Amino acid sequence: MISQSTLLTNTMKICSISPISAKEGTKLHLMATTTTGCRLFLSATRGYGYLNNAGAPQSMQVQHIKFPPTLDRPPPQQGYSGAETQTVTSSLALAYTQKSLRFPPGFFFCFVTKTDNSGRDSVFLSGPDTGRIAAQARDLNVQAIKYHEQACWMGLNSHMEDIGLISKPFAAASQPLGSGNELAVQYDEPPTEVAILTNSGIHIIRRRRLVDVFAAAIRNQGGDEALEAEIKKFIRHYGRGETTATALAVACGQGSDVTPGEARRAADPETLELARKCFVEFGGRPSLNENMVS
C-alpha cells in the first residue's frame, strides 16, 4: 500500500484498537494505533471485496493508513482553531504512543510519553474538519474525498490513567467517514465533551464546532482587511454557502467561548455585528440557474 516506512516494520506493535460503528460507514470497522502513532483503518471482508449482508466476515484487511503529523507542533490556538495536520511517513512526532482512543465522528486522542519528560504525558488531539469534508462531497469535480483534520497538542504535566466520554455519544450518520452529520446538529446538540483522568486531576476537553471557530475567528481579527482575509479563508475552505450559514448563525447568537465550567453564547454586541457584516458583505448576491428551471 505504501513505500517503505520506518514506522511500519516487522517489529511493529499495536497499542490500541477502537471500533467504528456501522452508522459511520459500511467499509471501515476498526482503527488500530501503533506505538509509532500510525492509524491503521481495517475492514472486515469476505473474499476479496467489502463485507455485505451475505454472510459473516472471513478476514480483516487494512484499507487506509494515517501517518503521524510533522514534528513541528502547531502554535497555540488563536482565532482559527488548531492547524491542519501534515502527515509524514517517517515522522516520530507520536513516538512513543502509549494509548489512543477514537470517538465518533472521528475525534482522535493519542497519548505520547517522551523519554525526557520524566513520566509526563502529552496528548495529541485531532478531529475531522467536517466543513471541508462536506465541501468536498458537494464538489462534483473532486474524485476522491480527502480526510481533513484540525489538531493541537496539550501537555498534561502528569500521567494519563483513563479517558471517557462525559457527554452522550455522537449520533453519527452514514456519511463520508469523519463528517457524519456534525454540521447539521451543531446548532441543536451540545458539543462533545471528553474527560481525561490523570494521577493529579481531571482535564475536560470540549469540541469546538465550526460555528464556535467562526465566532472566535471574527472576534480576534483587527480591522476590515484582516476580517476580509479571514472570511475569504473560510470561503476557500468551506464554500460560500456554509460560510454564509455560519455567519447567520453567529449573528443569531450561536457560537461559544469555552470558559471554566460553562460555555457562554456569543452574545457580545461586537461579535454579533461583525457576523451580520460578514453575512451581508460576503454572502453574495442571489442568482437563478436557468438550466434548473423546467
| Chain segment 231-262, per-residue pLDDT in tens | 999 999 998 989 999 999 999 988 876 544 45
Which of 221, 161, 249, 237 is CA-nearest to residue 197?
161
The boundaries of the domain holding residue 235 are: 209-284
Tally the domains of the chain: 1
Residues 134-162, mean pLDDT to the nearest whole number: 84
**Beta carbons within 10 angstroms of residue 232's beta carbon:** 12
Q: Could you read off the pLDDT of 3-52 as tens digits, one per residue? A: 778 898 888 899 999 999 888 877 889 999 999 999 999 998 876 666 66
Q: Got the DSSP string for the chain?
A: --S--TTS-TT--EEEEEE--TTT-SS--EEEEETT--EEEEEEEETTEE--TTS---EEEEEEEE--B-SSPPPPPBSB-SEE--B-TT--TTTTEEEEEEETTTEEEEEEE-TTSTT-EEEEEEEE-HHHHHHHHH-TT-SS----EEEEEEE-SS-EEEEEESSPPP---SSSTTTTTHHHHTTTSPPPEEEEEESS-EEEEE---HHHHHHHHHHS--SHHHHHHHHHHHHHHH-HHHHHHHHHHHHTT--EEEETTEEEE---HHHHHHHHHHHHHHS------GGG--
What does the alpha-carbon distance between residue 168 and residue 183 come to, in Å, rounded to a whole number?
17
Domain membership of residue 226 (yes or no) is: yes
10 domain-assigned: no
68, part of any domain? no
Output the pLDDT for position 40.
95
Which are the contacts of 95, defined by CB distance < 8 A and separation ≥ 6? 35, 36, 37, 68, 112
Question: Please, are residues 256 and 262 in contact by the beta-carbon 8 Å criterion?
Answer: no
- Dump pLDDT digits (tens) for 211-230: 988 998 888 777 888 889 99
Tell me the pLDDT of the chain averaged across its residues: 82
* Angle, vertex CA 28, rays to CA 25 and CA 34, nearest 5: 135
Residues 6+ apart with CB under 8 A from 291: none
193 domain-assigned? no
Question: Is the pLDDT confidence value at 166 over 70?
Answer: yes
Give the contacts of 49 (CB within 8 A, at least 6 positions apart): none
Of 24, 16, 60, 20, nearest to 42 (Cα)? 60
- Cβ burial of 95 (10 Å; 0-12, 13-18, 19+) is middle
Q: How confident is the model at residue 174 (pLDDT cuts 50, 70, 90)?
A: very low
**55, part of any domain:** no
Over residues 63-120, the pLDDT tens digits come to: 889 999 886 654 444 334 456 666 678 888 898 899 999 998 899 999 998 766 567 8
What are the CA-CA distances from residue 152 to residues 41, 63, 85, 223, 277 (Å)? 22, 26, 9, 27, 30
